Amino acid sequence: MSARMQVSYIGGYIDPGFDRTIEACPDLSLVRIDKSQSFAALHSTLAASHAIQIDSARLDIPEHLRIGREFLTQCPQILVVSASGAGFDAIDVSACTDAGVIAVNQTGGNREAVAEHTLGMMLSLTKRIGETDKALRTGDPVDRIAFMGDDLYGKTVGIVGFGNTGTRVAELCAGLFAMTVLAYDPYVGANAITARGARKVELDELLRASDFVSLHCPLTAETTRMIGQREYAAMKPRAFFVTAARGGIHDEAALYEALKSGHLAGAGLDVWEQEPPPADHPLLTLPNVIASPHTAGVTHAARRRLALMAAEQLIDILRGGQPQRMLNPEALPRFRERFDKVLAQR
């Protein structure tokens, strides 16, 4: 190649292994984008990019740097857009397809981290660890019988979204605690779900039968507000709601009412419509809510794994290889045409 292909990174922290891996390639260059600057100030750099690496969480990226139609129109050399994690809500996948741009993510890279966090929230809720921790710190007398919890063993967990993370949650729940696992995912067949140790059901059946409902699906037009007042009301009385998916899939105001009324026993929330949520958020006033600021997938091991997966996939794609984790395989024919033209111009 006569000139190096440019990878531009838009976002915050990513493990240094990403930089080292990209910079070790003599045919690639890496540019860090200062997301505090305007698009106009960054345009010449972005327009020279052949690949964009971007944080997965939409709220971590300013609106003018999220990947959409206008962005791609202004940057016609871009061939591939890569989300740093499994989520891809900072990327308009349909716009990428129309532009002949491949969109990829790193699905599976943080599945262990998110699954363990999910299980941690389930344990904390049923054992009432958050409540007892706060009670002890007041210095007041504590009636331990008043904080009686329960066991996970033998309960039923309903998993909404049965991909990499949902499957790992199922393995942990069934293997460690002999839990019955129900799964709702319209894109995974019954045989595949059975092979992964769960039973495929429709959403309403899952809600009615589960002691724990855990979300592990992406935020899309289809899943936005998927869990709202009707769904909470359909859940088993005194059930628990847990999510480490994306804010916006569940209705926060309706969840507050379901918890406040006593219909639901508690909730574990790692994701929010506004991140971080304001300190006076109604859900944060409830003692039976376990809260974290979208940190389920933020572990040292997960970040290292995701960084290497992202770098290696970009290198492979920019050298003509087959994308491993495509979000829009229908864009591949046009991408190949564009890729060949870019190579011919260099």
Cα(144)–Cα(208) distance, rounded to whole angstroms? Answer: 31
Residue 32 bears catalytic tag: no
Distance, in Å, from the CA atom of 331 to the CA atom of 262, rounded to the nearest integer, reads: 48
CB 103 within 8 A of CB 326: yes
Structure tokens at 241: 């709601």
Does 263 qualify as catalytic in the annotation? no
Pairing verdict, β 264-269 and 212-215: unpaired
Both structure tokens of 4: 């190096």
Catalytic residue, chosen from 117, 246, 250, 281, is 246
CA distance 309 to 304: 9
Catalytic residue among 250, 294, 303, 305: 294
Q: Long-range contact list for 63-70, CB < 8 A, 24+ apart? A: 64/38, 64/39, 65/10, 65/33, 65/35, 65/39, 66/90, 66/91, 66/92, 67/91, 67/92, 67/95, 67/96, 67/103, 68/92, 68/95, 69/95, 69/98, 69/99
Residue type, 136: L
Cα dihedral across residues 311, 107, 232, 259: positive or negative: negative
Q: Which of 171, 275, 304, 312 is catalytic?
A: 275
Q: At what angle do helices 300-318 and 16-23 cross, to 10 degrees?
A: 20
Q: Two tokens at 88? A: 């891809």
312 in active site = no
- Which residues are known to be catalytic? 246, 275, 294
